Structure 1
Amino acid sequence: MVGHQRQRASRAFTVVGQFTPLPLDGDVRRFESKENKQKKKVKMAPSRPGGGSSGVLSSVIFQLLARLTSGYLAFYFLSTLSLIIWKSLVLSYPSEALAWDVGLLFLLAALDLLRLFCGVRGTLTESELYILVNLFVTGTTILLTVYFLAWQTYVMRADVIISSVLLSFYGFDGVLALSTLVRLTRSDKD
């Protein structure tokens, strides 16, 4: 009886009904063919034009902050759009100004997606061009955020608070992008 239970416990059926033995008592077995072993060869990152590996040059903190900033921008976008809708219903909002504010808010969201793409792509590929584009787009998004902070038709205290937080995120992001760019250009000289 015990042998029968052990034999049954050592076997399992996969979804398609094929018989596959399972390891017993911590016995780990691997069934690999020569083809699978050859496919599992580790591929190294391509070397930079200056030579040598460049695994330490990408900035994980920069990538994390870029993603965190984009997450906050989703909150900022929805909050600002809600505030604009509320202001247009409660206050006398000129229709031209309403169109500009909504259009600039959507432009800010689109530019932030471009900033995130260029920042992450630039650090992963260690490309100076992508990080330069990220810095340029970050400067543009800072100007748009300052517009929503000070120059839109009606500025409320909530606008000031959420825009100030977004500006600080963009400032940290720009500093980290600049330091990553400096690190990449120094590694090219070596």
Structure 2
Amino acid sequence: MPTIASSSLTYEILMYLNSFYFGMFAICELGMGFFKAANLPSPGTNTTLAEFALLFFLIITEGARIYLGRKGNLTEHGLPILIGVILTVPSSLATLYFLIWQHYVLRLEVILCSIQLVLLASELVISILCLIAIYKPSSPEE
């Protein structure tokens, strides 16, 4: 008898979309960081360097989160998805920093960070549903 795959197509589509969106998001954030460093009154070199370091941290965590989420979904293993869910917390906090707590926040950053947070929230919900489907005990066939 054929087995039913429990990997989530919705989760895979969201992760695939976010892999491209986050690449564009990171490039735009980097460009806006250089724009603010060159054209706006500097809040200090340490603040500017800290914001670039936080952007680098966000790129690393979000890249790992997307990779682990897609790998776990395609192989139907829950541990990579669970680690991806845990990595959602630092990714969300770093995105919130760029949205709210940054010294200068541009209107484009508000739009891009809001879309990123919506993607993160929807992926979190779908990944939890995917984890439930993976770890749900299968009923005996009669």
Equivalent in the alignment of 1:170: 120
Is the alpha carbon distance of 1:88 and 1:54 closer, same or farther for their aligned partners in structure 2, counting shifts above 3 Å?
A: farther
Equivalent in the alignment of 1:42: none
Bigger share in helix: 2
Task: Percent identity, please.
Answer: 28
Q: Structure 1: which amino acid aligns with 2:19?
A: S
Structure 1 vs Structure 2 CA RMSD: 1.7
Q: TM-score, normalised by structure 2?
A: 0.90
The CA deviation string for residues 83-124 of structure 1, in whole angstroms up to 9 with x for no partner, is: 111111111221111111111111111111111111111112
C-alpha displacement of 1:131: 1.0
Equivalent in the alignment of 2:30: 81
C-alpha displacement of 1:59: 0.8
C-alpha displacement of 1:186: 1.1
- Out of 150, 163, 166, the position equivalent to 2:100 is 150
Q: How many residues align?
A: 139
The CA deviation string for residues 138-187 of structure 1, in whole angstroms up to 9 with x for no partner, is: 12211110010001121111111110011001111111101000111213
Q: TM-score, normalised by structure 1?
A: 0.68
Structure 2: segments with no counterpart, 5+ residues: none
Structure 1: segments with no counterpart, 5+ residues: 1-51
Higher relative CO (Cα under 8 Å, sequence separation at least 6) belongs to 2
Q: Structure 1: which amino acid aligns with 2:93?
A: L
Q: Structure 2: which amino acid aligns with 1:105?
A: L
Larger C-alpha radius of gyration, 1 or 2? 1
- Out of 34, 53, 59, the position equivalent to 2:8 is 59
Is residue 84 of structure 2 the alignment partner of residue 134 of structure 1? Answer: yes
Q: Structure 1: which amino acid aligns with 2:94?
A: L
